[in-house]
Amino acid sequence: MDQTQVAGDLELDKTLYTEEQIQGRLKEMAAEIEADYEGKDILLVGVLKGAVMVMADLARTLNRHVEMDWMAVSSYGSGTTSSGVVRILKDLDTDLTDRHVLIVEDIIDTGLTLSWLVTNLKSRKPASVEIATLLRKPDALQMDVDVKYIGFDIPNAFVVGYGLDYNEKYRNLRCIGTLAPHVYS
Ligand code: IMP
């Protein structure tokens, strides 16, 4: 069964980005990252669970050594909105002192979680902290954190697939799409 059919069966309203489009954009982002970090070590920091797919594909697209580490955080909020109040469920195993940290994100919506994360990681005395995200929503433009690498700017809709979930489902889709409205109700 191909992924389009899977997506259809799982009630995707519309495919926003196909597997090919996602992989193509990740290649371009990886080329930029390789150029910017020439001669420097990189520690990729992924935020569980949404960033798993982006991290796996971006890391493998980078034609150089990288280290990877993970954090799990929980953002207190209701349903599909986040409040910016964050609790660490799993911290990094790596000491960030003098490290070049590149946070790898699946999506930035309000940016509240990310803004908190950047402040938290910067307090650990790294050499640098930058952000790479596959998707960015319009509200994120108001946040006061610079995002250096952006895959796609998307409209303000709830999207799933490629790591992104609705009630823990759809993460395993290879494409990214919007959910049919009736799935919410
Ligand atoms: P923010 O703090 O508002 O930027 O939201 C951060 C988190 O909310 C993301 O890492 C996702 O886990 C989740 N999120 C925001 N928008 C979406 C979406 O459209 N689909 C699935 N998850 C989303």
Question: Which of 12, 70, 82 is the best mutation target for the ligand 1 pocket, counting ligand atoms within 8 Å of the beta carbon and taking the most?
Answer: 82
Q: What integer is the mean pLDDT of 123-145?
A: 92
Q: How confident is the model at residue 180 (pLDDT cuts 50, 70, 90)?
A: confident
- Taking residues 27-40, report their average pLDDT: 98
- pLDDT of 127 > 60? The answer is yes
Indicate whether 64 pLDDT > 60: yes
Share of the chain above pLDDT 90, in %: 75
Q: In the predicted model, what is the mean pLDDT of residues 106-128?
A: 94
**Closest among 26, 115, 22, 105 to 70, alpha carbons compared:** 105
Q: Please choose, from the candidates 99, 90, 96, 86, the residue with its C-alpha nearest in 3D space to the C-alpha of residue 37.
A: 99
Residue 155 clears pLDDT 60, i.e. is over it = yes
Give the chain's mean pLDDT.
90
Instruction: Name the residue of 54, 83, 107, 167 to mutate for ligand 1: max ligand atoms within 8 A of Cβ.
Output: 107
pLDDT of 3 above 70: no
Q: Give the closest residue to 104 by CA, choosing from 74, 164, 59.
A: 59
109 in catalytic set: yes
